Amino acid sequence: MSRLSGAAPSRTHLVLIPTYNAGPKVLETVREALGQWAPVWVVVDGSTDGTGEQLQALARSEPDLKVMVLEQNQGKGAAVLHGLAQAEAAGYTHALTMDSDGQHPAHLIPDFMQASGDDLARMVLGKPVFDASAPALRVQGRKVSNAWANLETLWMGIGDSLYGFRVYPVSPLLSIMRRQRWMRRFDFDIEAAVRLCWAGVWPVNIDAPVKYLRPEEGGVSHFNYLRDNALLTWMHTRLVLGFLLRLPWLLLRRFPSPPGRPKATQAPSGGSDRTQ
Ligand SMILES: Nc1nc2c(ncn2[C@@H]2O[C@H](COP(=O)(O)OP(=O)(O)OP(=O)(O)O)[C@@H](O)[C@H]2O)c(=O)[nH]1
Ligand SMILES: [Mg+2]
């Protein structure tokens, strides 16, 4: 399915890269992704560092690259939502999201796409393998978020709640995002994994290295400890409330009834995450 294999671009699975002021790394990332897969779509999220124009120039010579530009910065989740809506309209069923800042392993794109297959009830989650470049605070901090995400899903198997290198089924994720106003910023990755679990999309976890680049290596981060941790705290508060509302049904689904009794297959009518 990828250009590397010499096959035609996929008509079902695409790579979707949201980007915001990522500097020169974004061009490298996009080229690496194009070396592994076609098509690759980039959503430029109101970048002001000139990379939007550079990406548009690259797209003129790369038929498998599509660049969409949002005039104003809207946040990672909003940028992904924009790309997903276009992907659905064009008939794509699955999107592999990856960050634009050189942290994610483009060489694993084909493996992740293969693991996803055509299953709309499966998401493929990258499980970060850190090296010495990873700041201890970030590595430890995500354990807190992972613990909450696992509780909120009754341990359905989210290996890592934060890592954005993933394959999502497009229509279930779109229907979840369109029903609410959250998940538009840094809260996107965690809430997407949790709500997709609630909707019956099961996680498959695959180890994937993550790099933390120093600024002199071109590393850029927009993570803001205060702002983003406040956002994540509010997000988990919301998710715990949603979890408590769904708890009876989640328990029934997680621990099926004895033979002879009907099995829970979908959220109760009050639940807002039914995908079909
Ligand atoms: N933070 C942020 N990222 C955005 C936004 N819009 C798109 N993105 C993209 O989302 C991805 C993740 O952003 P980062 O700031 O690197 O967040 P992170 O990788 O979780 O955090 P670090 O581990 O500190 O790099 C990057 O590819 C960004 O370009 C936005 O408004 N804010
Ligand atoms: Mg990053």
In a domain, 5, yes or no: no
Q: d(Cα 52, Cα 57) in Å, to the nearest integer?
A: 9
Residue 226 within a domain? yes
Q: Which ligand is nearest to the CA of 25?
A: 1
- Quickly tell me which residue has 């910023």 as its tokens: 185
47 close to ligand 1 (CB < 6 Angstrom) = no
- CATH number of the domain that residue 139 is part of: 3.90.550.10
Between the CA of 247 and the centroid of ligand 2 the distance, in Å, is: 34
Q: Residue 220: give the domain boundaries.
A: 13-253
In a domain, 274, yes or no: no
pTM: 0.91
- Is residue 276 a part of any domain in this protein? no
The pLDDT value given to residue 261: 56
Ligand 1: nearest atom to the Cα of 138: 23
196 CA from centroid of ligand 1 (Å): 21
Among protein residues, the one whose CA lies closest to atom 4 of ligand 1: 76
The tally of domains found in the chain comes to 1
Report yes or no on 265 lying in a domain.
Answer: no
Question: What order do you get walking across the sheet with 166-169 strand by strand?
Answer: 65-70, 40-45, 13-19, 94-97, 166-169, 122-130, 202-210
Exposure class string for 254-270: b at 16+ Cβ within 10 A, else e: eeeeeeeeeebeebeee
pLDDT at residue 2 in the model:
46
Residue 264 contacts by C-beta under 8 Å, 6 or more apart in sequence? 249, 252, 253, 256, 257
Inside any domain, residue 179: yes
Q: Is residue 203 part of a domain?
A: yes
What residues have their beta carbon closer than 5 A to ion ligand 2? 101, 103
pLDDT at 138: 85
- Which pLDDT value is given to residue 260? 62
Q: Is the residue at 112 inside a domain?
A: yes
Residue ranges in the chain modelled with pLDDT below 70: 1-7, 257-276
Residue % of the chain over a pLDDT of 70:
90
Q: Whose CA is nearest to atom 1 of ligand 1?
A: 222
Distance 222 CA to ligand 1 centre (A): 6
